[in-house]
Amino acid sequence: MPMIARRIALLLGTACSLFGIDLRYWIEPCTRPETGCQKADVQLAEWAFQAWQSASDGKLRLEKTDQISRANIRLHWADSEQGQYGETRPFVTDTMRGAEVFVRPDLRAMGPEIFSAATQDSLLRDTIVYLTCLHETGHALGLSHTADFADIMYFFGYEKGDVREYFGRYRRKLGGRADIVKNSGISTQDRARFIQALK
């Protein structure tokens, strides 16, 4: 198990209550122009957290907080100096263990073809930002990479998968932005691994 997964497993273990696992999360407001973040990206991140809670079979409760110091999981919008796509790092303070999640909403790093397509299609851009939030918060909740192209936790380094098709197949499910809530992006295998990690 990768170090991040081991440390987050400890986080999950220390957050148990009579009702399951309770965690708080914080999402950085879109106030730094250099990140390329759009105000509605905060909602995409919220939907990612909600998707994992829904996939937990009632074992996980996630609560949003406006105070970063109270959050077990802290999602930041990264700029070009903070990461290429997304990254998750564990942290430990005197009062809690947690994870710092970094998502880069400026899609220039994904290459000119994807950047151009996402510029012309706002739902493709939303797809990429949402699925990146979903993938990185999956790490924050203890999940490691997989080699299955169907999974949200898939890692392109395993088989050099088709990046555009990975996002494109999800985009084709969307008739409008609200459809993201109806299509979690979490595969059956992701969900099974997640529930197992929560036990």
pLDDT at 20: 61
Two structure tokens written together for 77: 């919008």
Task: Choose the weakest-confidence range: 74-78, 99-103, 154-158.
Answer: 154-158
pTM, entire model: 0.90
For residues 114 and 99, what is the distance between their CA atoms, to the nearest angstrom? Answer: 29
pLDDT per residue as tens digits for the range 126-182: 999 999 999 999 999 999 999 999 999 999 876 666 889 999 999 999 999 999 999
Q: Which residues pair with 37 in a beta bridge?
A: none
When pLDDT is averaged across residues 111-137 and rounded to a whole number, the result is 96
pLDDT per residue as tens digits for the range 17-69: 444 689 999 999 999 999 999 999 999 999 999 999 999 999 999 999 999 99
For residues 35 and 169, what is the distance between their CA atoms, to the nearest angstrom? Answer: 26
Domain boundaries, the chain: 3-198
Percent of the chain residues topping a pLDDT of 90: 72
User: 133: Cβ–Cβ under 8 A, 6 or more apart, which residues?
Assistant: 44, 45, 47, 48, 75, 86, 101, 103
pLDDT at 160: 66
pLDDT per residue as tens digits for the range 170-198: 999 999 999 999 999 999 999 999 998 88
Superfamily in which the 3-198 domain is placed by CATH: Collagenase (Catalytic Domain) (3.40.390.10)
Two structure tokens written together for 22: 């309770």
184, 7 Cβ separation under 8 angstroms: no
Beta carbons within 10 angstroms of residue 134's beta carbon? 26
